[in-house]
A and B are shown apart, each in its own frame.
Chain A
């Protein structure tokens, strides 16, 4: 198992798509959040190694959720899921402390390489 992942996206379609991309590559999906508030709560409860975070979500946006998670755990590894036309929001999320981003529609290779790089970096820091 490479890492434990929390998927945060309000669309079950997108959650399922990420799950089906990452699970065959050895990632374990430990939880799914459907809004930003739930993402923060599940992060604290499950303590995953990685979070994939949609930017546009109800209750608390993905960017607000990143801030909420990092306030509790400054070492949290959050990858934003962005779509066409969200460049400004992606920049804001990275400034808020997100580690990287993946773009919808997802390209499986790009998703895996992004997550792999973060896991490798974390392993090096932890070693």
Chain B
């Protein structure tokens, strides 16, 4: 079992680091499918490992986080408001729990507070429409109408005339 505890600690540390990077990316783009997928997979993997070595409190929190990411994946983005902070708190909680395993070699205490927080349903929020309206999914702002070709010709001609006049004036001065 000691061998698997070491393996768990090594792999969990990598997964938590990947999760942290993906969360920072989600801060910039709350609809990043890749970041959502990474956090989901990392939570899933930690859950499976924790269950295999009997760290049930870690399994419960990672399971709640995995479920939350599944909901977010279905919605297409992280709902605005407290959701992203909640994910960060989930990550922080897992980091603390893994640190306890590393220090004591034992399963960490349960975190029912974190499990409850991550399990708060978000179905009441109309996430799909909200994701469409979110910054990353918002339709691009309408581009200004391109200028009329004839107008461009007039402007170009005016610039050319001004440049020619300036060049003529300089030539006179030099002469």
Whether A83 lies near B41 (C-beta < 8 A) is no
| Residue contacts A-B, CB under 8 angstroms, 10 given | A12-B11, A13-B4, A13-B49, A16-B7, A17-B4, A56-B44, A56-B45, A84-B47, A84-B59, A85-B66
Is A27's beta carbon under 8 Å from chain B? Answer: no
Is A112's beta carbon under 8 Å from chain B? Answer: no
Are A13 and B63 also in contact (CB < 8 A) when A56-B44, A83-B44, A83-B47 are?
no
Chief secondary structure at chain B's binding surface = helix
Whether B41 lies near A105 (C-beta < 8 A) is no
Is A46's beta carbon under 8 Å from chain B? Answer: no
Q: How big is the B interface, by class?
A: 10 to 19
Is A44's beta carbon under 8 Å from chain B? Answer: no
* CB closest residue in chain B, given A14: B48
Whether A14 lies near B41 (C-beta < 8 A) is no
Q: Which of A12, A13, A56, A57 contacts B52 (CB 8 A)?
A: A13
* CB closest residue in chain A, given B44: A56
Are A14 and B52 also in contact (CB < 8 A) when A85-B63, A85-B67 are?
yes
Is B51's beta carbon under 8 Å from chain A? Answer: yes
Whether A10 lies near B47 (C-beta < 8 A) is no
- Chain A residues whose C-beta falls within 8 Å of the C-beta of B49 in the assembled complex: 11, 13-14
Bound CA–CA A10/B40 (angstroms): 13
